[in-house]
Amino acid sequence: MRNLRKTFFVKGEKRYWNWIDTSDKNSLIKLGIWIIYAETLVVPFFYGVFKSIKNKSIIGMYEPVVVWMTTNSILYIFLTSKGGRNFVENLFK
């Protein structure tokens, strides 16, 4: 959350990188697929089970929790901050 507020929304100096290339439709499709993946919790659960079996450790079961929390934290910041709402609004112009 701090990175979004302190670096992503701050205007001023020229950026040499972008988090999201809004001119590339494939980038936006990938972003949409990631949000659907994170919100379903079913696919991350099965992926976590797969990782746990593959690595012979229970650590893979963190996958659905971490994916859901991270995605929703980013969405929350975007939708509650003026910079995020402007960003989303500019996507549809």
Segment 21-61, tens digit of pLDDT: 777 888 888 888 999 999 999 999 999 999 999 999 999 89
Buried b (16+ CB within 10 A) or exposed e, 39-64: eeeeebbeebeebbeeeeeeebeebb
Q: What is the pLDDT of residue 61?
A: 92
Domain, as residue range, for 72: 25-91
Q: What is the pLDDT of residue 90?
A: 77
Choice between 82 and 7, residue whose per-residue pLDDT is larger: 82
Taking residue 66's Cβ as centre, other Cβ atoms within 10 Å add up to 12
In a domain, 3, yes or no: no
In a domain, 81, yes or no: yes
In a domain, 40, yes or no: yes
Number of domains observed in the structure of the chain:
1
Q: Are 36 and 54 in contact (CB under 8 A)?
A: no
In a domain, 16, yes or no: no
The top-scoring range by mean pLDDT among 9-13, 49-53, 70-74, 86-90 is 49-53
